[in-house]
């Protein structure tokens, strides 16, 4: 099935851009990949991020498919369609912004817009072998994006190269300034569990950058991963819970939502205590280093035949979700494939230092073989 759920031709003669179907485009229903929203009325107005793209001369060529209700990591969607992973066709495209990543990887568009609540930009970017940025929480407007209320979700760009990604950020974030020099930048290499081949690829990319690096260990990393899930569950149930009663939500997402409904206020309160502790820990590390480096994914993306039960694959986000909880900007950078599967480097910067993050990412990417 096509990556696009609706072909469009809006805007100027600039770069082509695809929009995730959880973001409003005026006159088009926002269905978020769900049969439960099949009869949604057309959006009355563009999301603010869409307005900014149009104002910058971008050409919107369509809305793209996604993991249903943005509540999954594989991108598999029996109703709206599962996009083919263009560079790794036997692998899942990743979720939830599956169509956005696949559209860029397949050269259907120059750039694409997705959203990232627990890795939903960085995971599909890693699976499809493209760049994907989760900006600092709150930096890019979420007006006109689902869910309306969130403490985690971020709108951000995908691109096949850093210059295109940076230009797109300038379009969607009016505050995005000049990139700083990186000659004095340093890298904290975060010690996390991951497949040996992936750890080696990340270490080689950091070494090839020529920037000084040293190891970093986080006490609250695993706790932040678990706490992030508690917050995601509570906020997604609040936003999407009523749709379960329609009987039209796909079985995998419906079951995840039912499980999410059991999240208590005490769970959320405990998660927010972890949020404060982990955020402070990351802030402290980023006083020592310009950026942090770690794999985007700890393992190879699952094959399509391994991914039938998407609820069992939430741990695909083990290395990305903690930075949704903390709110730090993070970017996925494609590395050369290993053993036939995609590998991705994640860089993280201090809150509000999205320009520095992009500058270091562009430098690191330029040194890759």
Q: Is 131 helix (H, G, I), strand (E, B) or coil?
A: strand
Active-site residue identified among 16, 22, 34, 96? 96
Q: Is 74 helix (H, G, I), strand (E, B) or coil?
A: coil
Residue count (the chain): 369
**Tens of pLDDT, residues 72-112:** 999 999 999 999 999 999 999 999 999 999 999 999 999 99
What is d(CA 216, CA 195) in angstroms, rounded to the nearest whole number? 18
Confidence (pLDDT) at 305:
86
Q: Is 191 helix (H, G, I), strand (E, B) or coil?
A: coil
Does the predicted TM-score (pTM) go above 0.75? yes
Asked if residue 222 has pLDDT above 60, the reply is yes
**Tens of pLDDT, residues 147-181:** 999 999 999 999 999 999 999 999 999 999 999 99
Task: Please indicate whether residue 209 is annotated as part of the active site.
Answer: no
What is d(CA 291, CA 364) in angstroms, rounded to the nearest whole number? 11
Confidence (pLDDT) at 267:
98
What is d(CA 82, CA 79) in angstroms, rounded to the nearest whole number? 8
Percent of the chain with pLDDT over 70: 98
Closest CA to 186 of 287, 281, 112: 287
Looking up tokens 């590395």 gives: 335
What average pLDDT does this structure show over 201-223? Answer: 98
Confidence (pLDDT) at 308:
66
Active-site residue identified among 16, 22, 34, 120? 120
- Judging by beta carbons within 10 Å of its beta carbon (0-12, 13-18, 19+), is residue 242 exposed, middle or buried? exposed
- CA distances to 23, 109, 347 from 62, rounded to whole Å, are 12, 9, 29
Lowest mean pLDDT among 250-259, 300-309, 352-361: 300-309
Q: Which CATH number fits domain 4-366: 3.30.450.40, 3.40.50.2000, 3.90.1300.10, 3.40.50.10790?
A: 3.90.1300.10
Task: Please indicate whether residue 20 is annotated as part of the active site.
Answer: yes
Residue by residue, DSSP assigns 309-367 as SGGGGGGGGTTTHHHHHHT--EEEEEEEEETTEEEEEEEEE-TT-HHHHHHHHHHHHHT
Helix 162-172 and helix 354-366, axial crossing angle in degrees, nearest 10: 170
What is d(CA 271, CA 277) in angstroms, rounded to the nearest whole number? 10
Task: Please indicate whether residue 134 is annotated as part of the active site.
Answer: no
Phi first, then psi: give them for residue 109, nearest 5 degrees: -140, 165
Helix 196-209 and helix 354-366, axial crossing angle in degrees, nearest 10: 100
């Amino acid at each position: 099935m096509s990556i696009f759920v609706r072909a469009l031709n809006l805007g100027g003669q600039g770069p082509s851009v695809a929009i995730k179907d959880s973001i409003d485009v005026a006159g088009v229903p926002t269905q978020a990949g769900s049969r439960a929203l099949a009869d949604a009325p057309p959006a009355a107005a563009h999301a603010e991020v869409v307005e900014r793209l149009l104002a910058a001369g971008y050409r919107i060529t369509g809305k793209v498919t996604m993991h249903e209700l943005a509540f999954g990591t594989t991108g598999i969607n029996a109703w709206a369609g599962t996009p083919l992973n263009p560079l790794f066709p036997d692998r899942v495209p990743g979720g939830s912004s599956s169509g956005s990543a696949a559209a860029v990887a397949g050269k259907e568009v120059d750039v694409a817009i997705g959203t990232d609540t627990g890795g939903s930009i960085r995971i599909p970017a890693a699976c499809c072998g493209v760049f994907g940025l989760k900006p600092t929480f709150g930096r890019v407007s979420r007006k006109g994006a689902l869910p309306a209320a969130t403490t985690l979700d971020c709108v951000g760009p995908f691109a096949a190269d850093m210059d295109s990604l940076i230009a797109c950020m300038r379009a969607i974030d009016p505050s995005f300034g000049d990139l700083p020099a990186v000659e004095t930048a340093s890298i904290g290499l975060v010690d996390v569990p991951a497949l040996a081949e992936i750890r080696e690829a990340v270490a080689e990319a950091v070494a090839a950058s020529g920037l000084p690096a040293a190891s970093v260990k986080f006490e609250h990393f695993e706790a932040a991963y678990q706490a992030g899930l508690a917050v995601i569950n509570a906020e997604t149930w609040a936003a999407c819970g009523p749709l379960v009663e329609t009987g039209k939500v796909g079985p995998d997402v419906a079951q995840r939502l039912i499980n999410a409904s059991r999240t208590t206020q005490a769970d959320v309160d405990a998660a927010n205590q972890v949020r404060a502790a982990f955020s402070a820990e990351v802030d402290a590390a980023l006083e020592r280093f310009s950026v942090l480096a770690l794999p985007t994914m700890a393992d190879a993306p699952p094959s399509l035949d391994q991914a039938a039960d998407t609820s069992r694959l939430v741990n695909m986000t083990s290395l990305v979700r903690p930075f949704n909880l903390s709110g730090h900007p993070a970017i996925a950078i494609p590395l050369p494939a290993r053993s036939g599967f995609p590998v991705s480097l994640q860089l993280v910067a201090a809150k509000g230092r999205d320009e520095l993050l992009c500058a270091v990412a562009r430098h690191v990417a330029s040194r890759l073989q």
